[in-house]
Structure 1
Amino acid sequence: MTRHPDPALHDELSLGTDYETLAARFRPLFAQIADGAVDRENDRRLPREEIRLLTDAGFGAVRVPRAYGGSGASLPQLIELLTELAAADSNIPQALRGHFAYVEDRLNQHATVDQSAWFTRFVSGEIAGNAWTEIGEVKVGDVNTKVTRRGDDLVVNGTKFYSTGSIFADWLDVYAEHDGVPVIAIVRADQPGVTVHDDWDGFGQRTTGSGTTILEDARVDPDDITVFADRFRYQTAFYQLVHLATQAGLVAGAAREVAAHARARTRVFSHGSAGTWSEDPLVQQTVGVATAQGFAARAVAVRAAESAQDAYVARFACDPEAEERANQRAEIESAQGQIVLTSLSLEATSTVLNALSASAVSETKRLDRFWRNARAVSSHNPVIFKQRIVGDWAINGTPAPYVWAIGQRRTTAAAAR
């Protein structure tokens, strides 16, 4: 049986709130964001204003405990909220993925070290971006970004790619090496030693602010360097949960937008099934299936987040065995969600276009963005490897890996050393 935290800690933890009340605060902003989504897509305009409106309204602090000025939302509630936002513009949840991951780490670190200073920053609207991945000649398991001493300062030097959301951020969550140890260095984004480029060239998720971050003697406070091994255990699951929310939102958004176009359409085919397009049962069926797929996708994403919430709560319950079980469930359940939603989101965002015939491919509508964005999101954390991991767990009980790396293959000689 899982032990629960001391009731005296409840105000210090994010155990959940009334979801409808929470969502009602942000739905007007979601609607405003949705209204400009096609124009941003056509112009490749980054959603700087939209993200600032959200953070000013407290969106970046929904997971911060109420005792520190946040909303105290549970992880399933955060994922459901991100699903609603993704239906409006799927780029924005992915742009905020690194921020919410850093918030999650601070929530977990609060079990042993006071994090109220960070909570205050989040409540005031400050956000973090992601700067982890390196490309080029780096070998699997290595990191070329280094923290070193320059006089009285510690500085960070390196180049990161896929640094999603960093262009909007006040802080950068940087994976680096310090004295031979993998660390996380939290760097102010507005200092002269930090340059962030919007050079992501993917055909989907074009306005996530992903791309290259260059760190040149960027200063970092010693208190803002933590050992990577101490980071919250369900981090890989958490990153995937945000992708699940994005995939679910894409399906719901596609169904909703196609329904609106079908409602407004006046032209019909002579061999159709009704005198008006909106009354055609085959059109209704197509949109109905996509709408149901959106409902199912949202349910999968929210359900997959429950074990991660259990892992967070177990962090404060002084029950290492329960915490380990919850962390392992979080990995497996997020992977299962990924396997299902990858195929579902791609199928749904394509098939729903049958409800509009050739007008669905009009560039003025940009309905292709739903499939393109679903394809881009589904390309991260390769699903083929997650399928194998889940199969190995189901057959052999093999635990899922908590953290993995990407890079050039090591030679046998190098591996032996």
Structure 2
Amino acid sequence: MFLSSHQSATAQTDLAWGEGPSPDYEALATPFRPIFARIRAGAAERELQRRLPVEEIGWLKAAGFGALRLPRAEGGAGAGLPDFFNLLIELSEADSNITQALRGHFGYVENVVNAPAGPFRARQAERIARGEIAGNAWTEIGNATVEGFSTRVLPKDGGLVLNGAKYYTTGSLYADWIDTGASDAANEGVTVLAPRHHPGVSVVDDWDGFGQTLTASGTTTFADVPIDPLDVIRDDDKFRYASAFYQTVHLATLAGIGRALAGDAAAAVAARRRTYTNAAATRSAEDPQVLQVVGRIRGAAYSAGAITLQAARALERAFASHGAGDEAAEEKANALAELEAAQAQTVISNLVLDAATIVFDALGASAIKKPAGLDRHWRNARTLSSHNPRIYKDRIVGDFAVNGTPPPYQWRIGLPAA
């Protein structure tokens, strides 16, 4: 039996989304798809009620989703980056809030899988394999500068303690650990793994953005939180393709939103019975102009996914170059991964934002009613597209194309240096 675009299928090829990134992809994805289906079933209602997906993230933790990138020998699934990002597209089709809430965790895991064998890696890998997840706490607001963090990890009473305040701490409300950017006693940049449930840690869901409303991207404060030295890593020791990696998580999330739009549009058009006197058919499902809109949305989602996977392959090359002993080759692979993610960013965001707008052209005025939940796709896509400002990306790519200028790897936001 041929499957229509909004029915479930074992393989994504059956839905015309294309072949999985590797021969192992379907085996990797199959156990998670029933969970994704459960997550998607309640996605619109959760947004309407602003119910945080605590239970849904718990399902993913229990299924080992947070350990996808961890090697099998360390208790994970050993997924390559293209397979990993394709799974993020599927999760984002179910609920983009959850992918965004787990973004900090995925970056934390990527640090671990790039770390050399030793006490740091062994401890973190054990936590990841147990299903523990990390949130993130990096951005500082107010008078924070681009030069460094006011959040500090300093010696006290023979140990280390963390003090400071962060905003946009996405996913930390759901986490066991918080991946935190800080400055140490030497004023050097470090990443600290802070225990989420210590009494000195306060996580407040005060995120007031109009999109990605369930990511709990609010305020986190640290007051004399004890930190084990094994939970501290210097910025210079972190994986170098981090900026491109985090951006590609956004790209996968946007591609998933595109798929959700395509599915919602197709289902709504198929179910619609009302028509217009000036329509091209008596039913929307037979109206060529309406079908053209649905097809355009689907094409945008397909393209967004394909572009995301191309960027993921560049990240896989950067990962493979790490530790190979050729610094020049590693530097080149990192730069190319950053450039590919930058090239993808503006194109994918434009595709999905356009799709999230024209979906209403395929439906009647009732589609704008809040219970339909279709507005969430634009709001979520617009929110994601506001991260790591896309207006700078074309300039960075153009500067490389014309002048051979390498891209910047890390970026921060704050007041300019004095």
- Following the alignment from structure 2 to structure 1, what is the Cα–Cα distance between the partners of residues 337 and 212? 26
Corresponding letter in the other structure for 1:331: E
1:106 pairs with one of 97, 104, 112: 112
- Tell me the residue number matched to 2:340: 333
> Is residue 136 of structure 2 the alignment partner of residue 120 of structure 1?
no
Q: 1:162 to 1:17 in 2, by over 3 A?
A: farther
- Following the alignment from structure 2 to structure 1, what is the Cα–Cα distance between the partners of residues 283 and 393? 45
- Following the alignment from structure 2 to structure 1, what is the Cα–Cα distance between the partners of residues 120 and 225? 26
Deviation at 1:94, TM superposition (A): 0.6
Instruction: Tell whether the 8 Å contact from 2:62 to 2:131 is kept in structure 1 after alignment.
Output: yes
Q: What pairs with 1:152-167 in structure 2 (closer than 5 Å)? A: 152-167=158-173
- Following the alignment from structure 2 to structure 1, what is the Cα–Cα distance between the partners of residues 52 and 82? 28
1:359 pairs with one of 357, 366, 370: 366
CA RMSD of aligned residues (A): 1.4
> Is residue 82 of structure 2 the alignment partner of residue 76 of structure 1?
yes
Instruction: Tell whether the 8 Å contact from 2:148 to 2:189 is kept in structure 1 after alignment.
Output: no
2:139 pairs with one of 133, 137, 141: 133
> Is residue 271 of structure 2 the alignment partner of residue 271 of structure 1?
no
Deviates more, 1:273-282 or 1:291-300: 273-282
2:324 pairs with one of 302, 308, 317: 317
Corresponding letter in the other structure for 1:246: T
Deviation at 1:100, TM superposition (A): 0.4
> Is residue 60 of structure 2 the alignment partner of residue 54 of structure 1?
yes
Structure 1 unmatched runs, 5+? 1-14, 412-417
> Number of paired residues?
397
- Tell me the residue number matched to 2:183: 177
Superposed CA offset, 1:42-76 (max 9, x none)? 11111110011011001001111111221111111
2:305 pairs with one of 275, 298, 310: 298
> Is residue 228 of structure 2 the alignment partner of residue 225 of structure 1?
no
Instruction: Tell whether the 8 Å contact from 1:95 to 1:164 is kept in structure 2 after alignment.
Output: yes
Deviation at 1:409, TM superposition (A): 2.1
> Is residue 256 of structure 2 the alignment partner of residue 280 of structure 1?
no
1:145 pairs with one of 143, 151, 167: 151
Deviation at 1:297, TM superposition (A): 0.3
Query: Secondary structure in 1 aligned to 2:90?
Result: helix
Normalising by the residue count of structure 1, what TM-score does the alignment of the two structures yield? 0.93
- Tell me the residue number matched to 2:415: 408
Corresponding letter in the other structure for 2:66: G
Superposed CA offset, 1:207-239 (max 9, x none)? 011110000011110111111111100000000
- Paired-residue identity, %: 50
Q: 1:373 to 1:18 in 2, by over 3 A?
A: same
Corresponding letter in the other structure for 2:413: I
> Is residue 273 of structure 2 the alignment partner of residue 260 of structure 1?
no
Structure 2 unmatched runs, 5+? 1-20
Corresponding letter in the other structure for 2:322: R
- Tell me the residue number matched to 1:5: none
Instruction: Tell whether the 8 Å contact from 2:119 to 2:230 is kept in structure 1 after alignment.
Output: no
> Is residue 378 of structure 2 the alignment partner of residue 371 of structure 1?
yes
- Following the alignment from structure 1 to structure 2, what is the Cα–Cα distance between the partners of residues 361 and 290? 17
Normalising by the residue count of structure 2, what TM-score does the alignment of the two structures yield? 0.93
Corresponding letter in the other structure for 1:109: A
- Tell me the residue number matched to 2:206: 199
Query: Secondary structure in 1 aligned to 2:163?
Result: strand
